[in-house]
Amino acid sequence: MKVTLLDHTQDPEVRIGQMAAICYDSKTDRESCIKRTAHCRDSGHLATLRFAYATFNISGISRVCSHQLVRVAHAGILQRSQRYVKESNVEFVVPESVRTLPPELYDKWAGTLARSQQLYLDCIDAGMKKEDARYILPQSCTTDLHISMNFQGWKDIISNRTAKHAQWEIREVFIEIDRQLGQVAPSLFGRTE
């Protein structure tokens, strides 16, 4: 898994404070804006976070993980298309729990992945459209995507997807997103472990 911050609002804590100033008829100098952003965070006035955004590339995650991501209604998402892209070198995300299986089950798991990839490629070579051949690929095959959202959306999804009950792969993605957002807006992000 690789998470890369591609773009974000410059100086987001100041920008949010500038936008929120209209609500309070307040000063818009840098210090006042940063304090206002913290006040909005602490008071739950999170609609102000909609005036800052961030865009990430997430690669090397499973389709299982991406299916959880694409359900985020308030995100802009563009994902690698198995309909149009030939998956010549399919990689798979393998849960750590698979590695603890008895050897015969582990071998069956690994063999199923290898056979599905080969059947996919054989079907395409025989003339099947990629959009139909993809049906044989397991959900563990990797994908990559771009995801863009305003900071209010990021706060919400980070809270949900870093909770202890969240699935391990999506949890790892959002812990890393929170860490990277914490570098550009430390009063708002960078608090999950």
Element housing 62 (H / E): strand 53-62
Catalytic site residue from 161, 171, 179, 191: 161
Has 161 been annotated as catalytic? yes
- Amino acid code (one letter) for 54: A
CATH topology for 2-79+141-184?
Gyrase A; domain 2 (3.30.1360)
Q: How confident is the prediction along the chain (193 residues), in pLDDT tens digits per residue?
A: 999 999 999 999 999 999 999 998 889 999 999 999 999 999 999 999 999 999 999 999 999 999 999 888 889 999 999 999 999 988 999 999 999 999 999 999 999 999 999 999 999 999 999 999 999 999 999 999 999 999 999 999 999 999 999 999 999 999 999 999 999 999 999 987 6
Calpha distance 11→92 (Å, rounded):
38
Calpha distance 173→159 (Å, rounded):
12
Element housing 103 (H / E): helix 103-125
Q: What are 46's two structure tokens?
A: 């999170």
The residues spanned by each domain of the chain are: 2-79+141-184, 96-136
